[in-house]
Structure 1
Amino acid sequence: MSRRRLSVALAAVLLSLLALVGTAVPAQAVTLDEKLQVMSAWTQPTQVSTGAWNAGRLTQPAWSAYTFDWSTDYCSVSPDQPLGFDFRLPCWHHDWGYRNYKTVGQFPANKPRVDDMFYFHLRQVCASYPSWKRPTCDGLAWSYYQAVRTFGSLSAVSQLDLDRAAIRLALARRWVVQPSVRPVPVS
C-alpha cells in the first residue's frame, strides 16, 4: 500500500471515530423514582440493605449519576466510638439517609424507617463484640437510637448515659475476669 493510500485510510478511520464520539449520546440521567428506589433499598433495617449501602459507599464513583450526598459528621456531637464500640459506619449510614431524603424533599415520610435502619446497623456492630460486651453496646445503641428517634440528633445522648454504660462494661469485665467475685451494685 502506498503512503498516500495509507494516509487517506488513516484519515478516514480517524474522521469516523471523531464523528462517532462527537455524536455519542451522553449517559441518561437518573430519574427521581430511580433515585428513591435505591435510597429505599439502602435504608431498610436489614442486613441486605446495610450491605448494599456499604458496597455503594465503597464504590461511590459508580453512583455519581444519582448525586447522592455521602458527607458525614459521623455521630455529630456524641462520641463516634463510645467506650470503644465503633459506631462510625452506622452514623454515616444514618447521615446518608437523612441528607439524601432531605435533598429530595421526602424526609418526614422516611425518617422513622431511616432511624430504624440506624438501630439495626448499630445492633449489627454490637453483635460483632464478645457476648460479655454486648449488653453494654446494646444499651448504648438503644440510647443513640432513642436520641435520633426523639430529637432527630445524637446531641441528646447525655454524659450520664455514657457513664452508666461505662459502669455496665466495667462490671461485665470484672465478672468475666473474676467469675467467683460477685458484682457489687453501683449506686
Structure 2
Amino acid sequence: MVGRLLAAALITVLANQAPAYAVTLAQKLTALSVFTQPTTASAAAWRDAWERQEPWTAYAFDWTTDLCSSSPDRPLGFDFRMPCRRHDFGYRNYKAVTRFPANKEHIDKAFLFDLRTVCGDYAGARKVACDRLAWSYYQAVSHVPAGSVRDVSAGSSAPAGSRADHVG
C-alpha cells in the first residue's frame, strides 16, 4: 500500500511539473532513487510503475530486461524474475543518466533485498536453499566493478512495455 501511494505521488508530481512526457534529469533521478532502494516501499513503488507503465514512465525509462541474464530465472523453482527485472531497470536507467558507478551498490543491495523477499515465502530446507541461491546471485553482481559491467541496455531481449514474461 505504501509503495502504491509513493508511486502515485511521484506520478502526480512528475505529471504536474513536466509537459507531455518531458522529464527533467532531476525528476528522473528522484524517480530512480524511489524505485531502486532496498525497501518494501521502493519495491512496491517500482512494481506498481512496472505493471502500469504510465506514459511518463514508459517514455522516461528503459523497461527492457534479459531477466537473470545467463543465470536461471527460476533456479530450483524459486522465481527470481522480478528481482532480476528491477535489477536490470536500475542498471539500465542509471547508465542512461551516467550515474551508474555511484548507484551500483544500492541497486545491488535492492537486488539482494528482492531475492530475500522471494525466499521469505519458504520455510525449512527450501528457505535455506533459496537464501543460499539468493546470496550467490547477489555475490555474482556485487563483486563486479561498476566500470566492467557490460552495457546491459544494448541488445536487450524485450521491448519497452513488453509483457511476454509478465508475472501476476
TM-score when normalising by structure 1: 0.65
| Residue number in structure 2 paired with 1:49 | 42
Match of 1:14 in 2: none
Match status 1:90 vs 2:88: no
State whether structure 2 residue 20 is matched by structure 1 residue 27: yes
Partner residue of 1:120?
113
Structural mapping, 1:1-187, within 5 Å: 27=20, 29-64=22-57, 67-151=60-144
**CA RMSD, Structure 1 to Structure 2 (Å):** 1.9
**CA–CA distance in structure 2, aligned partners of residues 147 and 73 of structure 1:** 16
Q: How many residues align?
A: 129
Higher RCO, 1 vs 2 (CA within 8 Å, ≥6 residues apart): 2
Q: TM-score, normalised by structure 2?
A: 0.72
Give the deviation of 1:66 after TM superposition.
Answer: 5.1
Sequence identity (%): 56
Q: Distance in 2 between matches of 1:117 and 1:100?
A: 15
What SS does the aligned partner of 1:132 have? helix
In structure 2, stretches of 5+ residues that fail to align are 1-18, 150-168
Question: Contact (CA 8 Å) 1:30, 1:65: kept in 2 or not?
Answer: no
Q: CA deviation at 1:128?
A: 1.2
SS of structure 2 residue aligned to 1:133: helix
Distance in 2 between the 1:84 and 1:151 partners? 26
- Stretches of structure 1 that go unaligned for 5 or more consecutive residues are 1-25, 154-187
Query: What does the per-residue CA deviation read over 1:118-167, in whole Å, with 9 as the maximum and x for residues that have no partner?
Result: 000000000012333111100000000000001267xxxxxxxxxxxxxx
Partner Cα distance (1:65, 1:84) in 2 = 30
C-alpha distance in structure 2 between counterparts of 1:57 and 1:28, whole Å: 16
CA–CA separation in structure 2 for the residues paired with 1:76 and 1:141 = 15
* Aligned partner letter, 1:131: G
Q: CA deviation at 1:35?
A: 0.6
User: Take 1:122 and 1:71, find their aligned partners in 2: how far apart are those partners?
Assistant: 19
SS in structure 2 at match of 1:69: coil
| Contact 2:91 2:107 (C-alpha < 8 Å) held by counterparts | yes
Residue aligning to 2:5:
none
